[in-house]
Amino acid sequence: MSTIAKVVVELSLDREFDYIIPGPLKNDLHIGSQVVVPFGHRETRGYIVGFSDISKTPNLKEIKSRVGTKPLINQDLMKLAYWLADYYASPIEQAIKTVLPSVIRKKEGRYKQQLFVIPTSLASDTTRLEALQKKAPKQATTLSILRDQGPMFAQQVLQLSRGTFSVLRGLEDKGFVKIGHETMMRDPFMGQTVLPTQPLELMLEQRQALDQIKPFIDSQKSRVMLLHGVTGSGKTEVYLQAINYVLDQKKGSIVLVPEISLTPQMVERFRGRFGDKLAVLHSHLSSGERHDEWRKLYEGKSHIAIGARSAVFAPVKNLGLIVVDEEHETSYKQDKTPRYHARDVAVMRGSMEGCTVILGSATPSLESYQNVFSGKYQLARLDHRVDDHAMPSIRIIDMRHELGQKGCVEVFSKDLTEAIQIRLDRAEQTILFLNRRGFATSLICSKCGYVEKCNQCSVSMTYHKQVNELRCHICGKVSRVPNQCPEPTCKDPAFRMAGVGTQKVEVVLRRLFPHAAVQRMDADTTTGKYAYDQIFGDFRSGKIDILIGTQMIAKGLHFPNVTLVGVIFADTTLHMPDFRAGERTFQLLTQVAGRAGRGDIVGEVIVQTYTPSHPAIQAVRRMDFEGFMDQELGFRRELFYPPFAHLILVTVEGVSEEKTSFSAEMFTKAIVPKLQNSSVVTGPSPAPIAKAKGFYRFQILVRTKTTRKVSEIIKENLLTFTWPPKIKCTVDIDALSLL
């Protein structure tokens, strides 16, 4: 048994402290146990995150006592935390912090205590009431509210009676009411009522999918089902009914959706069906709300959790089902240690807790499809849209031929311009998509080829027109727009903009269609908390004719009046220095295309591109998921890339280019001899973004089939390797971004 416990105290210090375990507590402490420890001149609560036999700190103090008998992290979640630490090469402390939300670990997490008013038996005494009516009419009104509606929070009574608190105290003095403290649940829905909905009569394919899922749930074994359903095929209804089925067996569920799709609209669909049984976990909640929602699950008052990535750790009791919607989404990957992928964690948690996992998508990841081929996952398909709405027609426009042609205006081809005009005439709506914000991509000198770059990061600066400045999209640095080429030997004044961003699209669009209501939606226009909902609300109600946006508008939205989707340049994602660029482009374009024609009119999609013959673009045109996947899988197999190998990305960063490169070199030399032949190591080489925020970046890429083993070797070496000062090394297992 260890003698020292590592404790994270409830002060936001973001580090652990060592404490001696006193004899009497020796067998009673576990990771996750809450304890009281001396801290400075006072005492504070903390959580045990680890054990040790040695400590670097002299004069350790003892743990004072244990709080509660039940650790905040149950056995299953603790096991999952250890898996996270092992698989993702992360310290266990870090993994535990990931499993337990900070609002629960830290002090701010308390139920809100409120004054609560309870009428006594005197309140129903009519003679006394009549007497009160004469002497203190305000008190009488307040009391009659309480008598009619029963006990309630002081705040609510006063709102109804429009009285002051002294009225309540007066009633208390006369013995008509008792006032005490009660826990008040904060309501993230702000009292907004959602109409209850009933399960819909399922379409044939939906029913078949559900029939396939039910035996999985009954078996109580961990089984994974990939639900591949085209956009608008009614996947959500299948989730809802599967959750219902699980609920009938007195079990709980978790629903994961990408942060960006976790809109009030989305939550309402679940809330309408499950009411109070649903807890919502997402980053827009206040910390108090987040605390209460988590507690409701922990205490078994709610049985269903819906949330983004981290909701995969929700303390749902007796877990029967995990749904991962849009399973291909890259936002499921955490971008700090442990760099977990919520879909993969969901599958692991499912296998640990013997529960069913449904992965849903219109464009599944190659990883998941390969698991279908290998027999690990089962497949269910929804090939038809609900009500058999036709899939939109897709046209590809070759911009190489278009430019300079009559009717083509800068970023708009003749066809797209005409198509927009038709929608305006018919009072239908249009969505325009471009995966790049800002005005122009970069400033380029047409004479010497100089490109204005960020001096902290090796990327070009993006021009933002409204504020007339250049911004770095990596570090946020802002600089003035030079009026001549900064290259001393050139100084040409004809410095011009190259590339197009959403701002530019907006400007040109307003010029082309001065009477149309145009709105842009990207990271620059949605900085306010409610901006996002506001814009979507306006679009839904028809106040906006044309919505321009980045990938923010690509997902899961259902706007029946949108009959045209235009992709300004499909090439933006296609030419990323990443082997997944084709897959990403295919997914993104398919998702965007899915926004068209969700109502009764058949939708049209126009894709503008400079590389019309690219397999990903052609596959989108034909809506040929299988064909694209076959080709892509062939190429991945040949090159030993995911899903045929796991990809481990080690990034070494430092201010000195030379030292960083050298450390990366030495680290590679340290690990390579320990890896088996089955692993392929490339690098170190400069990262595609070779410098960011002033740090040089070098990468080592390991492709392997034995991830756990490699992960262990890397984790060990990270600790034993002597890193020079100010050199940082991060490990990303199953990396999704190679930049």
454 contributes a contact to Zn ion by CB under 5 A:
yes
Q: Which is nearer to ligand ADP, 233 or 679 (CB)?
A: 233
- Least CB distance to Zn ion at residue 12 (A): 29
Q: Which residue, among 616, 680, 684, has the nearest Cα to 652 in the 3D structure?
A: 684
Q: Which is nearer to ligand ADP, 360 or 549 (CB)?
A: 360
Q: How many CB atoms lie within 10 A of CB 103?
A: 21
Distance, CA of 625 to CA of 629 (rounded, Å): 6
Residue with tokens 């076959």: 630
Q: Which is nearer to Zn ion, 155 or 455 (CB)?
A: 455
Residue 236 contact partner, candidates ligand ADP, Zn ion, none, CB within 5 to 8 A by sort of partner: ligand ADP
3-state secondary structure of 151: coil
461 contributes a contact to Zn ion by CB under 5 A:
no
Residues engaged in binding ligand ADP (CB under 6 A): 200-203, 206, 229, 231-237, 386, 558
Q: Which residue, among 347, 334, 319, 305, has the nearest Cα to 83 in the 3D structure?
A: 347
Distance, CA of 543 to CA of 503 (rounded, Å): 20
Distance, CA of 438 to CA of 473 (rounded, Å): 9
Q: Which is nearer to ligand ADP, 213 or 396 (CB)?
A: 213
- Asked whether the beta carbons of 734 and 573 are under 8 A apart, the reply is no
Residue 81 contact partner, candidates ligand ADP, Zn ion, none, CB within 5 to 8 A by sort of partner: none
Residue 457 contact partner, candidates ligand ADP, Zn ion, none, CB within 5 to 8 A by sort of partner: Zn ion
470 contributes a contact to Zn ion by CB under 5 A:
no
Q: Which is nearer to ligand ADP, 229 or 338 (CB)?
A: 229
> Total number of residues binding Zn ion (CB under 5 A)?
7
Q: Which is nearer to Zn ion, 247 or 443 (CB)?
A: 443
Q: Which is nearer to ligand ADP, 238 or 472 (CB)?
A: 238
**Piece of the chain touching Zn ion by CB under 5 A; list 19-27, 278-286, 350-358, 476-484:** 476-484
DSSP tag of 302 = -
Residue 708 contact partner, candidates Zn ion, ligand ADP, none, CB within 5 to 8 A by sort of partner: none
* Site string (481-520) toward Zn ion, x via CB under 5 A: ----------------------------------------
Q: Which is nearer to ligand ADP, 265 or 661 (CB)?
A: 265
- Asked whether the beta carbons of 30 and 63 are under 8 A apart, the reply is no
Tokens of 164: 């002051």
- Least CB distance to ligand ADP at residue 388 (A): 11
Residue type for position 417: T
- Asked whether the beta carbons of 207 and 238 are under 8 A apart, the reply is no
- Least CB distance to Zn ion at residue 444 (A): 18
Q: Which is nearer to Zn ion, 414 or 473 (CB)?
A: 473
Phi, psi of 242 (to 5 degrees): -65, -40
Binds Zn ion by CB under 5 A, chosen from 474, 512, 601, 690:
474
- Least CB distance to ligand ADP at residue 386 (A): 4
DSSP tag of 327 = T
Residue 202 contact partner, candidates ligand ADP, Zn ion, none, CB within 5 to 8 A by sort of partner: ligand ADP
Distance, CA of 64 to CA of 12 (rounded, Å): 20
- How far, CA to CA in Å, does 291 sit from each of 68, 103, 405, 511, 544? 18, 6, 59, 49, 37
Residue 456 contact partner, candidates Zn ion, ligand ADP, none, CB within 5 to 8 A by sort of partner: Zn ion
DSSP state string for 60-121: PPBP-EEESSS-SS-HHHHHHHHHHHHHTT--HHHHHHHHS-HHHHSTT--PEEEEEEEE-G
Residue 472 contact partner, candidates Zn ion, ligand ADP, none, CB within 5 to 8 A by sort of partner: Zn ion
**Piece of the chain touching Zn ion by CB under 5 A; list 63-71, 245-253, 403-411, 464-472:** 464-472
- Asked whether the beta carbons of 512 and 412 are under 8 A apart, the reply is yes
Residue 235 contact partner, candidates Zn ion, ligand ADP, none, CB within 5 to 8 A by sort of partner: ligand ADP
- Asked whether the beta carbons of 551 and 590 are under 8 A apart, the reply is no
Distance, CA of 322 to CA of 355 (rounded, Å): 7
- Asked whether the beta carbons of 513 and 424 are under 8 A apart, the reply is yes
Q: Which is nearer to ligand ADP, 335 or 383 (CB)?
A: 383
Beta bridge partners of 115: 181
Distance, CA of 170 to CA of 176 (rounded, Å): 9
Tokens of 614: 């690219």
- Least CB distance to ligand ADP at residue 591 (A): 10
- Least CB distance to ligand ADP at residue 523 (A): 24
| Binders of Zn ion in range 60-89 (CB under 5 A) | none
457 contributes a contact to Zn ion by CB under 5 A:
yes
Phi, psi of 644 (to 5 degrees): -90, -15
Count, residues in the chain: 739
Q: Which is nearer to ligand ADP, 237 or 734 (CB)?
A: 237
475 contributes a contact to Zn ion by CB under 5 A:
yes
- Asked whether the beta carbons of 628 and 586 are under 8 A apart, the reply is yes
Distance, CA of 579 to CA of 682 (rounded, Å): 15
- Least CB distance to ligand ADP at residue 555 (A): 10
- Least CB distance to ligand ADP at residue 199 (A): 9
- Least CB distance to ligand ADP at residue 334 (A): 25
| Binders of Zn ion in range 696-715 (CB under 5 A) | none
Contacts of 389 (CB under 8 A, 6+ apart): 232, 597, 598, 599, 600, 602
Residue 454 contact partner, candidates Zn ion, ligand ADP, none, CB within 5 to 8 A by sort of partner: Zn ion
Binds Zn ion by CB under 5 A, chosen from 80, 99, 280, 472:
472
Angle between helices 581-593 and 615-622 (to 10 degrees): 30
DSSP tag of 152 = E
Q: What 3 state SS string does 489-504 have?
A: CCCCCCEEEECCCHHH
473 contributes a contact to Zn ion by CB under 5 A:
no
Q: Which is nearer to ligand ADP, 205 or 632 (CB)?
A: 205
- Least CB distance to ligand ADP at residue 327 (A): 12
- Least CB distance to Zn ion at residue 659 (A): 21
- Least CB distance to ligand ADP at residue 249 (A): 23
- Least CB distance to ligand ADP at residue 103 (A): 30
- Least CB distance to ligand ADP at residue 656 (A): 50
Residues in touch with Zn ion (CB under 5 A): 454, 456-457, 472, 474-475, 477
